[in-house]
Structure 1
Amino acid sequence: MLIHYLPKLLADRGSSIDGFECSGLVAGAVFVDVPSRKMPPKDLSFSVYADVDLEGSEDFVERRHCDFETALEYSKVGKFQWLLLTISGVVYATCAISSTALSFVLPSAGCDFALTSADKGKLTAISLVGMLLGCGVWGSIADSQGRKVAVMLSLLMDFFAAALSSAAQNFDVFLVCRFFNGFGIIGATSIVFPYLGEFLSNGDRDRYLGRLEVFWNFGIIILPGVAWCLLSKNMVDLYAPSVTLSPWRIFVLVCSLPSLISYVLIYYLPETPKYLMDHGKYEKAKMVFQKMYAFNTGRPMETYPVRRLEGEAIHQTTCKMRKKPAGYSLWRSVGNVAERVRALASQQYLKYLAITCFADFGLMASYYTLVLWFPEIFERFNLYETRHPDKTAGICAVSQIRPTRPSRPGQCNFTIGNTVFLETLVIALSCLPTSASLSCFMHKFGKKFVLVFGLILSGLSALALDLVQNSTQTLLVSSVFESLTSVLEAVLLCVVVDLFPTNLRALALSLTVTCGRLGAIFGNVTFGLLLDLNCVVPIYLFGIFLIGSGVLCLAIPRSDGYAPM
């Protein structure tokens, strides 16, 4: 899915990634053709002076003031960036697997825990609550301890939480584990983009970050295959006599392993030079540049043209001159946030903020709910068509079909039909064309047109779910729905970047995406409560949300250059 990439958006418009205000965010890629522009350094702490050794170097460079972009230019672009993209892609695919693994757990674990549809709604919502609370924490860790440290710790937490949840013996313990699973994985999801982006120049950043989004789709495609291998009836019958664990527990345990693998892979990568420079660690930053240069060119590290980073002494002197009493920075930060809140509440911006917040609330309420419930819905279709092979029925009719619960504990041997895995895989594959062509469509038709058209069309497809009469029709409508909604938040965040000036952009993005996470929680709880009672209500609610959001977005100005720079 193209979800939310705040730091990239800020960087593309000249805003500092070091400001990484990610409270309540879930990050994802935004691939948009934004003109690259090099901003002059605002203070000495963001500058770097370099002595350039001309002797033995093929690059003729005069001794001059050199910013991050120029220092990065001398390290070249090549094999290192491709290695970094591959490992970052593995991390992002891991995030996709971890974020959506519950979709296959719902129909399987329901037997062991005797879950109602309302309980399943709580289960899907609890991970989103963890994501909502965790992003601000991981953003702070990324700013204070480093991007690499934050990604590694979040992957480690996700691994342990998922592994422990596979052994949970009651529903309450399982809920707690899945909360920390969401709390952990959101760190890697949100920080892997700035981590990769801070190794890239402005000219290369869009291209590489756009490619990174493809790995999310790989994760979504891989997950049904893993579930098919572990949860299908044939496989369960094969290893059931020799394995005492429930199949879904093995599935959850296997889905935790990519987090551990990603942790090991990223351990061998360096911290970003941008972070190191911004925090006065110039010697370490120079070492990273030298390694990048050697890896890309095959030359010795000593031949890297930039010999000395002289900004460290100036940075230390500046820090001493700016030393303030304890608590000064905290109060200053609080004051800055209050000032930005007042600015957003002004008549000039409040209307647009309300529109984007409402749009993301409705978009995520529908997307995150249905994408996590599709396997459950298709499994109920499978049960209905098995019991009534000559009849047709819609979603609300088949939602009344539930697996038979065992009369005594320990008798669960629930399996998912093979068609469910195939149908889920088709839905995942349907996202590839839209994610691959998103940048082209935004460039040709404009962000506003893509956003409005996509919201209205996805709303109509949500309403069409009430009209389908068999699993094939449901699959077709669901594929259209997910292919659109999976990219629309990316477009919405691009619009937010255009609407708000640099000093208000981070807060506007944070509030918008926080409303989206609240919508996802609302959607999952509501759908779980009403699926067995009156499933027409959430379906029409999602459709009205999406169409209403599209109509409201007509009030957004079309010009991409709306925000003052």
Structure 2
Amino acid sequence: MKYLKKLSCSECSAYSLTKDSRKEYDEPADFETAIKACGFGKFNLILLILSIPLCWMSVIETTTMSYVFPAAQCDLDLSLGDKGMLNAITYGGTIASAFMWGFIFDTMGRKRPLIAGFLLDGIFAVLSGFSQNVTFLMVMKFFGGFIMNGPYAALTTYLCELHEGKYRSRMPIFAGLSMSIGTIYLPFLASFILPMNFKLILADYLVLHSWSLFLLLNALPALMGGMIFFFLPETPKFLMTMGRNEQALKVFQMIYSLNTGKPKETYPIKILINEPKANHRNEPESFLLKGWRQISPLFAQPFLGVFILVCSLQLFMTMGQNTLRLWLPQLFQAINDYKFFNNGTSSTLCNMLSVIQPTNETEECFVNFDNSEVYVNSMIVSAVSVVAYVIVTAVVNVLGRNTLLKILGLVASGCAVGIYFSPHSDIALIFIAGFNSLSNIGSKVILVVVVDFFPTTLRTMTVSLVMMCGRGAAMIGNIIFPKLLEMGCGPPFFSMASLFFVCFCLSFLLPKPKENFV
């Protein structure tokens, strides 16, 4: 007892470890043991809170135009085809950069590319706010998508690699939940900014409108994200993979200290195992050859079958989800305009959508700024999605990803059919909210499969390629959707239902959890 009284606090903490605990850490620890010893606490909570607005950037980059269309259609002389292209062009940028970003993050780490990615995205978002014509706006949205594709994919991986196994599977769901909060933020901000309908002349060829200010304000989360990552660590998993165990151990100690409030020196693990280093050669070779060396394992067993399957699931699911999602504000605006011209009277969805058809060229362009219902409906749809994410986060480990994907695919397909048969705008809103929530969650559950089945050195590349497939499909969907609307009311919604029924069928082919390859 006399000796114990003389021990320092750090020595007491170390001494308080049980004999079994000390024995467990006598040998070099692998990543899972090391991250588990850090616990879950202040560091994790701070990280998750800071990542919420960063997760918004994917939503902001792809969705802002959906709210800009009704306000800017006269200023920019937008047709239905222009709107479809503006929605699609962002996804074109993400496709063009998918390979590049996956290679960069899997070879250079997560932190430094995340800093550069968020700052560059913020710059292009600012430039888009100064657009004076459709062409310049399309160019800025393309580069915005080109930049944003990497940081969002890497952010999901970053969160996964800083949590132990029992929390890791929830991280893609958390990212999706944060994105859903972002979908509430956008219409909330739009409801204050867009109805202002001002015109500020800065120069002969530079005029700002309310939608310009809306775009400028939406650059702030990306610029903030670039600054946040200056103060966050590189993931210890990546450091261990690159053979930088001393740096990884310092990160583990920092996380442990923040989570427990104890000195870094009391972190019970002193040595980390030497993981197989990633195959990144130092000799000069072409970028394409390095990239091929990085992704070639995906095209061989045991990864090829699962890779094709998750790409197919993401393709169909994202085509349906992101096509309808990006057209929702325009559809709600059509419903609002129908009521505006018919003394507040509602009708079947198909009757109300008739006002979205192209107008006679001789008619004067008209924008209805009395559209608070558009933003309220958009926020309701987003709020339902947030609630659904909370529920799914709680049950994903109980149901399992395979069963969950089956449920999501089948019910979302039914909701798409329900939208078409809606006799009233309120009924349509219920089905739209259900479809949006379930389809959005489904695309994130697929990322859980990627995290489960693919190793660290392939993970970000795989996420990028899987998301590239989905975003390519979303680009095509947004180009086709205006054509489907011109054909009539049924084709858009029955197409959505068919896509998700295919996803329901494909989900039966997913391997069981015990067949995990990692």
Which residue identity is paired with 1:135? Answer: A
Alignment map for 1:162-561 (pairs within 5 Å): 162-206=125-169, 210-232=173-195, 236=196, 245-301=208-264, 304=267, 326-327=284-285, 334=292, 340-341=298-299, 343=301, 349=305, 356-389=310-343, 390=345, 392-395=347-350, 398-401=353-356, 415=369, 417-494=371-448, 512-554=466-508, 556=509, 559-561=512-514
Q: Classify the secondary structure of the residue corresponding to 1:245.
A: strand
1:178 deviation in Å?
Answer: 0.4
1:344 deviation in Å?
Answer: 7.5
| 1:132 paired residue among 77, 84, 95 | 95
How many angstroms apart in 2 are the aligned matches of 1:547 and 1:310? Answer: 46
1:308 to 1:153, Cα distance in 2 relative to 1, 3 A: same
1:541 deviation in Å?
Answer: 1.9
How many angstroms apart in 2 are the aligned matches of 1:189 and 1:253? Answer: 20
1:523 deviation in Å?
Answer: 0.9
How many angstroms apart in 2 are the aligned matches of 1:425 and 1:226? Answer: 11
1:414 deviation in Å?
Answer: 5.9
Q: Given that residues 129 and 213 in structure 2 are in contact (C-alpha distance below 8 angstroms), is that contact kept between their aligned partners in structure 1?
A: yes
Any stretches of 5+ residues in structure 2 without a counterpart? 1-7, 16-21
For the pair 1:58 / 2:58, whether they are aligned, the reply is no
How many angstroms apart in 1 are the aligned matches of 2:226 and 2:463? Answer: 28
1:530 deviation in Å?
Answer: 3.4
1:298 to 1:433, Cα distance in 2 relative to 1, 3 A: closer
1:503 deviation in Å?
Answer: 11
How many angstroms apart in 1 are the aligned matches of 2:252 and 2:454? Answer: 34
How many angstroms apart in 2 are the aligned matches of 1:442 and 1:283? Answer: 35
**In the alignment, which residue of structure 2 is the partner of 1:29?**
none
1:444 to 1:380, Cα distance in 2 relative to 1, 3 A: same
Q: Given that residues 154 and 185 in structure 1 are in contact (C-alpha distance below 8 angstroms), is that contact kept between their aligned partners in structure 2?
A: yes
**In the alignment, which residue of structure 1 is the partner of 2:113?**
150
Q: Given that residues 117 and 532 in structure 1 are in contact (C-alpha distance below 8 angstroms), is that contact kept between their aligned partners in structure 2?
A: no
Q: Given that residues 195 and 272 in structure 1 are in contact (C-alpha distance below 8 angstroms), is that contact kept between their aligned partners in structure 2?
A: yes
1:461 deviation in Å?
Answer: 2.0
Q: Given that residues 125 and 219 in structure 2 are in contact (C-alpha distance below 8 angstroms), is that contact kept between their aligned partners in structure 1?
A: yes
1:272 deviation in Å?
Answer: 2.1
Q: Classify the secondary structure of the residue corresponding to 2:75.
A: helix
Q: Given that residues 395 and 465 in structure 1 are in contact (C-alpha distance below 8 angstroms), is that contact kept between their aligned partners in structure 2?
A: no
**In the alignment, which residue of structure 2 is the partner of 1:111?**
74
Q: Given that residues 126 and 178 in structure 1 are in contact (C-alpha distance below 8 angstroms), is that contact kept between their aligned partners in structure 2?
A: yes
Q: Given that residues 61 and 90 in structure 2 are in contact (C-alpha distance below 8 angstroms), is that contact kept between their aligned partners in structure 1?
A: no
How many angstroms apart in 2 are the aligned matches of 1:142 and 1:332? Answer: 13
Q: Given that residues 310 and 466 in structure 2 are in contact (C-alpha distance below 8 angstroms), is that contact kept between their aligned partners in structure 1?
A: yes
1:257 to 1:334, Cα distance in 2 relative to 1, 3 A: closer
Q: Classify the secondary structure of the residue corresponding to 1:59.
A: helix
Overall identity of the aligned pairs, in %: 28
Q: Given that residues 128 and 521 in structure 1 are in contact (C-alpha distance below 8 angstroms), is that contact kept between their aligned partners in structure 2?
A: yes
For the pair 1:99 / 2:62, whether they are aligned, the reply is yes
How many angstroms apart in 2 are the aligned matches of 1:345 and 1:194? Answer: 18
**In the alignment, which residue of structure 1 is the partner of 2:19?**
none
1:163 deviation in Å?
Answer: 0.7
How many angstroms apart in 1 are the aligned matches of 2:417 and 2:14? Answer: 61
How many angstroms apart in 1 are the aligned matches of 2:232 and 2:455? Answer: 34
1:137 to 1:415, Cα distance in 2 relative to 1, 3 A: farther
Which residue identity is paired with 1:560? Answer: P
Q: Given that residues 76 and 293 in structure 1 are in contact (C-alpha distance below 8 angstroms), is that contact kept between their aligned partners in structure 2?
A: yes
Q: Given that residues 230 and 251 in structure 1 are in contact (C-alpha distance below 8 angstroms), is that contact kept between their aligned partners in structure 2?
A: yes
How many angstroms apart in 1 are the aligned matches of 2:297 and 2:55? Answer: 35
Q: Classify the secondary structure of the residue corresponding to 2:132.
A: coil
Q: Which stretch has the larger CA shift, 199-208 or 139-148?
A: 199-208
How many angstroms apart in 2 are the aligned matches of 1:106 and 1:480? Answer: 24
| 2:46 paired residue among 64, 83, 87 | 83
Instruction: Encode CA deviations 1:310-336: one digit per residue, 9 max, x unaligned.
Output: 969x99xx99xx988654998687478
How many angstroms apart in 2 are the aligned matches of 1:533 and 1:77? Answer: 54
How many angstroms apart in 2 are the aligned matches of 1:240 and 1:331? Answer: 51
Give the alignment's Cα RMSD to 1 decimal. 4.1
